[in-house]
């Protein structure tokens, strides 16, 4: 009889953690989606500043205005999408391109702002022009020569020296939005036959979710010299 409470507690604890493992990903995903949606609505609601508050907010008994009516938030979001589409349509014709070029030159003449604008513009152009960015999962020697880290190829650097260098991004775990940018000799890069999605899952899960790896490795990019690098250690 003395073992029954212990057995019940053990079963209850096992059931709790099993249920938590099932519902936690869904709860976190929904929570993140709600937070992102509320963040976007908070920014788009500012488009309604030109309207009288009595139109968009209820009047409280003390004379103050209450929170924004929910349907006005949807109107502001729809207006934002419409404006972005109109800007994109305008920027695709000749007059729009000339206007954007003039705005670009004006922003580049403003001290401090030109540095920030130039950096953001270069990153944006690199993602739109280089179709191979973040589409190759590779292994690189990091943080020392006897270890390997999962990385994503972002481009080739041919003007930084005699040897071709490959720029790779090594994301941190479990948050892959930050990381390290390395310039690695092409001969030290090994391409993995896995998708970017599987690589990100491997990083976010702290290595617990192993990607399906075919086991054959080749250099990340075409090489002029013969020979292949040694196979990487298995990720499983």
- Which positions ≥6 away from 121 have C-beta within 8 Å? 104
Structure tokens at 189: 């890069």
The secondary structure of residue 52, as a DSSP letter, is -
In this prediction, residue 212 carries a pLDDT of 64
pLDDT along the chain (236 residues), means of 10: 62 84 84 86 83 83 81 88 87 84 85 80 63 74 88 80 82 80 88 84 79 51 46 47
pTM of the model: 0.47
- Whether the CB-CB separation of 216 and 203 falls below 8 Å is answered with no
**Other Cβ atoms closer than 10 A to 233:** 9
Structure tokens at 71: 């349907």
The closest alpha carbon to 197, from 181, 216, 176, belongs to 176
In this prediction, residue 236 carries a pLDDT of 42
In this prediction, residue 128 carries a pLDDT of 60
- Give SS3 for 20: helix
Using CA atoms, how far residue 196 sits from 76, 124, 200, 213, 217, in Å, is 35, 19, 6, 12, 16
Number of residues in the chain: 236
Using CA atoms, how far residue 59 sits from 8, 67, 161, 194, in Å, is 55, 9, 67, 57
In this prediction, residue 29 carries a pLDDT of 85
**Percent helix, strand and coil across the chain, each to the nearest 5:** 50, 15, 35
- Give SS3 for 112: coil
- Whether the CB-CB separation of 206 and 173 falls below 8 Å is answered with yes
**Which 3-state string (H, E, C) describes 89-109?**
HHHCCHHHHHHHHHHHHHHHC
């Amino acid at each position: 009889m003395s073992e029954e409470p212990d057995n019940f507690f053990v079963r209850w604890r096992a059931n709790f953690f099993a249920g938590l493992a099932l519902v936690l990903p869904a709860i976190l995903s929904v929570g993140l989606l709600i937070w992102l949606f509320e963040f976007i609505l908070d920014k788009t609601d500012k488009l309604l500043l030109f309207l009288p508050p009595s139109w968009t907010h209820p009047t409280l008994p003390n004379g103050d205005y209450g929170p924004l009516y929910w349907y006005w938030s949807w109107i502001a979001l729809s207006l934002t999408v419409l404006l972005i589409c109109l800007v994109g349509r305008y920027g695709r014709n000749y007059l729009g391109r000339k206007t954007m070029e003039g705005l670009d030159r004006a922003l580049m003449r403003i001290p401090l702002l030109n540095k920030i604008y130039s950096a953001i513009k270069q990153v944006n152009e690199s993602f739109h022009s280089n179709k191979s960015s973040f589409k190759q999962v590779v292994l690189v020697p990091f943080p020392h020569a006897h270890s390997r880290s999962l990385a994503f190829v972002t481009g080739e650097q041919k003007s930084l020296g005699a040897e071709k260098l490959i720029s790779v991004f090594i994301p941190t775990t479990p948050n892959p939005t930050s990381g390290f940018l390395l310039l690695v000799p092409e001969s030290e890069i090994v391409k993995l036959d896995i998708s970017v999605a599987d690589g990100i899952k491997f990083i976010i899960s702290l290595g617990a979710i192993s990607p399906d790896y075919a086991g054959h490795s080749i250099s990340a990019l075409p090489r002029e010299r013969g020979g292949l690098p040694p196979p990487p250690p298995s990720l499983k």
